Homo-oligomer: A and B are copies of this chain.
Amino acid sequence: MKAVVYKNKNQVAVEEVENPRIEHPSDAVVRVTSAGICGSDLHMYDGRTDISSGTVFGHEIMGVIDDVGQAVVSLKKGDRVVLPFNISCGFCFNCIRGYTNACLTTNPEKPSAAYGYAGMGPYRGGQAEYVRVPFADFNATKLPGEAGDAFEDDFLLLSDVFPTGYHATELAQVGPGKTVAIFGAGPVGLLAAHSAIIKGASEVYVVDRSEERLAIAEKIGAFPVNFEDGSPAEQIITMRKNNKMLVESFKPGEEKMMGVMCGIDAVGYQAHSIKQPDKEDPLSVINELAKVVNFTGHIGIVGVYMPQDPGAVSEQVKKGIYALPFGLIFDKGITIGTGQTPVKKYIEQLKHLIIAGKAKPGMIVSQHTAIEDAPRAYTMFDFRGIGDGEEYTKVIINP
């Protein structure tokens, strides 16, 4: 079968590899109909991890059950399914507490496994015609309809970026009537905004510098903030101060809360500098969050920070050390939630929102591509489409 294979830094190829098969009675094999390219695939593509040549990429996967092992009871050939990117057992100490992002069974190296990802266990990715699914009863979510139906993109995004955007809102304790600042208008940031609005947030601000992406944020119902216009924290505070109704609703002293209650980092360690947007400044987002989040507020961080990063801008950051404005964070009594998403925790309720027509994550998809054209899609996505006249926000491979 055909698969997208990592070759070297900034190079992937489509190659013929052996078809996957049932290796364990709990396995299934899925014929892939859609597979997303994720921003975190670019971390590997850009050589920021130690992935080996030959790895099949792809952890955003949906398709149709092609075969099941003898132990599988809830799935049968032909079922349409989406796969949470976390590969998890469902029965270890972490999985039973809902932390399928830290499964203790599926990866001997560390508590966490995924399809086709550096350090995440010996699993082939799904940017391919077929993929093997371990513990299939637990790791495949049943979908309605036929392969290629209208909801194909919406459902695919249940594998990672929609739950990850939603998880960010959970970590940041977003709820009805809350105010939210989201840094990054990539797929995760946009779907964090979508999630925040679904949850009834009263004000949602999205920060980026791509006008195309900010236009999507606005369409979702958020206020766009372009960081090329100056400190996003200051911009948001000014916007709120200019909201006459809001300011008049304050009792004396409440004007000390002109920032927001919830802050989300959907960017991570590859953040651009605010002042010199073409430079990488891994702290720029957290610095602004510490300014814009109010006393007693909450920050959710789903943009990735790495324990080691050989390609980092400084010796400190290479070792995973980040110089945070922690004095200010402590003074404000802010909480910080971090880490990978336990997709399984959210996937059913998000699926129901899609079925009910209340969530439409697929609107962020910008391109579809045949598997043969995946290498070009990686190149374009890596450059965000610059020079092509097209914004590459989210690319889906349809094998």
Contacts and interface: CB of A to CB of B under 8 A. Distances in A.
Given A142-B250, A252-B74, A338-B334, A111 B295 contact: yes
A71 B74 contact: no
Contacts of A98: 96, 98
A365 interface: no
Number of copies: 4
Interface in A300-320: 301, 304-309, 316-317, 319-320
A344 to B, nearest CB: 6
A277 interface: no
**A-B pairs, 4 with minimum CB distance:** A333-B339, A320-B327, A177-B349, A144-B248
B316 A323 contact: yes
Contacts of A178: 349
B105 A335 contact: no
19 contacts: A70-B70, A71-B71, A74-B251, A74-B253, A94-B296, A104-B257, A111-B295, A144-B249, A177-B349, A177-B350, A202-B356, A202-B358, A269-B327, A305-B331, A307-B325, A307-B327, A307-B328, A309-B327, A321-B326
Contacts of A142: 249-251
Nearest to A255: B104
A145 B177 contact: no
A99 interface: yes
Contacts of A337: 335
Interface stretch (A1-9, A85-93, A183-191, A366-374): A85-93
A144 B179 CA distance: 18
Nearest to A119: B331
Contacts of A307: 325, 327-328, 330-331
Contacts of A166: 176
B339 A336 contact: no
A363 interface: no
